[in-house]
Chain A
Amino acid sequence: MPEETYDVVIVGGGISGALLANKLAKKKKKVLILEAGLDAGLNPSTYKDYVDHFYTQQAKVPNSPYTNNSFAPQSNVLDIAKINPPNPETSGYFVQYGPLPFASTNTRSLGGTTLHWLGICLRMLPNDFCMKSAYGYGVDWPINYWDLKGYYEEAELEIGVAADVNDLRYPGTDKHFFGDFEYPKGYAQKGKKNKGKYLFPMHKIPPTYLDKYISKGLKGMKFQDGDDSIDIDVVSIPQGRNSDPNNDYNDPRTGYRYRPQGAVGKMHEGERCEGNSNCIPICPVQAKYTALKTLSNILSVKHSSVRLQSQSVVSKLNYDSNGKIQSISYKQYVRPGDLNGVKEKKVSGKLYVLAASPIENAKLMLASRAGRSSGQLGCNLMDHPYVLTWGLMPDPVGPFRGPFSSSGIPSFRDGRFRSRHSAWRTDIGNWGWIFPTIAPWSNVENRVDQNNMFGKKLRRTLYNDVQPQFRFGFLIEQLPQSTNRVIIDPKYTDALGNYRPVIYYDLSEYEKAGIAVAKAFSDQVMRRMGAADYTAYSPADPGYIEYQGKGYTYHGSGHIVGTHRMGSSRKDSVVNTKQQCWDHKNLYLIGCGSMPTIGTSNPTLTMAALTLQAGDHILKHLRKI
Chain B
Amino acid sequence: MASKTKKRKNRRPQIHTFKSLYEHLQWAIEVEHFTIPPYLCALWSIKEGTNPEAIEAIQSVVMEEMLHMTLVANLMNAVGIHPEIDRPGFIPKYPCRMPHSGDHFKVSLERFSKKAIHTFMDIEEPKKSGSPARAHHYHTIAQLYDAVAEGLEYLVCEHGEKKVFKGKSHCQVTPQHYYGGGGFVFTIDSLEKAQFAVREISEQGEGKVPDKIGTGSVFDGDEHFGQPPEPAHYFRFNEILLGQKYVREDTPISGPSGALFDVQWREVHQMQKNPKVKFAKSIPIRNKMNAFNEKYTELLRRLERAFSGEPHLIQKAVGQMFQLKYQGIELMRIPIKEGSKTMVGPSFEFYSPA
Contact = CB atoms under 8 A, between A and B. Distances in A.
A509 B195 CA distance: 70
B60 A244 contact: no
Contacts of B180: 272
A256 B230 CA distance: 19
Given A254-B226, A259-B226, A274-B322, A267 B179 contact: no
Interface stretch (A44-52, A307-315, A429-437, A454-462): A44-52
B52 A268 contact: no
A257 B226 contact: yes
A266 interface: yes
B142 to A, nearest CB: 23
Interface residues on B, range: 10 to 19
A262 B179 CA distance: 13
A267 B60 contact: yes
B179 A245 contact: yes
A268 B59 contact: yes
A271 B228 CA distance: 14
B176 A267 contact: no
Contacts of B175: 245, 247
B167 interface: no
Contact of B230 (A44, A247, A267): A267
Interface in B314-332: 322
Interface string B45-64: 00001001000100110010
Nearest to A251: B226
A266 B52 CA distance: 10
Nearest to A271: B181
B176 A244 contact: yes
Interface in A259-297: 259, 262, 266-269, 271-272, 274
Interface residues on A, range: 10 to 19
Contact of B60 (A44, A245, A268, A272): A268
A398 to B, nearest CB: 13
B49 A52 contact: yes
Contact of A268 (B49, B63, B176, B322): B63
Nearest to A266: B56
A256 B227 CA distance: 10
Nearest to B49: A52
Nearest to B53: A44
B182 interface: yes
Interface core residue of B56, B63, B175, B322 (most chain A CB under 10 Å)? B56
Contacts of B59: 268
Contacts of B230: 267
A44 B259 CA distance: 14
A257 B60 CA distance: 22
B278 to A, nearest CB: 30
A244 B175 CA distance: 9
A244 B226 CA distance: 15
Interface string B216-255: 0000000000111010000000000000000000000000
B49 A259 contact: no
Contacts of B49: 48, 52
Interface in B171-203: 175-176, 179-182
B61 to A, nearest CB: 10
A56 B49 CA distance: 14
Interface in A393-424: none
Contacts of B226: 254, 256-257, 259
B56 A268 contact: yes
Contacts of B179: 244-245, 271-272
A52 B50 CA distance: 13
Contacts of A267: 56, 60, 228, 230
Interface in A226-269: 244-245, 247, 254, 256-257, 259, 262, 266-269
Interface string A36-74: 000000001100100010000000000000000000000
Contacts of A45: 52
Contacts of A269: 56
Contacts of B227: 259
B110 to A, nearest CB: 23
Interface in A548-588: none
A44 B52 contact: yes
B37 to A, nearest CB: 20
Contacts of B176: 244, 247
Contacts of A254: 226
A271 B175 CA distance: 14
B325 to A, nearest CB: 11
A48 B52 contact: yes
B329 to A, nearest CB: 16
B245 to A, nearest CB: 11
B291 to A, nearest CB: 17
Contacts of A259: 226-227
Contacts of A272: 179-181
Interface in A153-177: none
B70 to A, nearest CB: 15
A15 to B, nearest CB: 24
Contacts of A247: 175-176
Nearest to B179: A244
A293 to B, nearest CB: 15
A147 B226 CA distance: 33
B68 to A, nearest CB: 15
A266 to B, nearest CB: 6
Interface string A320-348: 00000000000000000000000000000
Contacts of A244: 176, 179
Interface core residue of A45, A245, A262, A267 (most chain B CB under 10 Å)? A267
Interface core residue of B63, B227, B322 (most chain A CB under 10 Å)? B227
Interface string B12-31: 00000000000000000000
Interface string B253-283: 0000000000000000000000000000000
Contacts of A44: 52
B315 to A, nearest CB: 9
A254 B176 CA distance: 21
A154 B295 CA distance: 44
Nearest to A258: B226
Nearest to B59: A268
Nearest to A52: B49
Interface of B: 49, 52, 56, 59-60, 63, 175-176, 179-182, 226-228, 230, 322
18 contacts: A44-B52, A48-B49, A52-B49, A244-B179, A245-B175, A245-B179, A247-B176, A256-B226, A257-B226, A259-B227, A267-B228, A267-B230, A268-B59, A268-B181, A269-B56, A271-B181, A272-B180, A272-B181
- In the A-B complex, the 10 residue pairs with the closest CB atoms: A256-B226, A268-B60, A268-B181, A244-B179, A271-B181, A247-B175, A259-B226, A268-B63, A268-B59, A272-B179
Given A247-B176, A267-B230, A268-B181, 19 more contacts: A48-B49, A48-B52, A52-B49, A244-B176, A245-B175, A245-B179, A247-B175, A257-B226, A259-B227, A266-B56, A267-B228, A268-B56, A268-B182, A269-B56, A271-B179, A271-B181, A272-B179, A272-B180, A274-B322
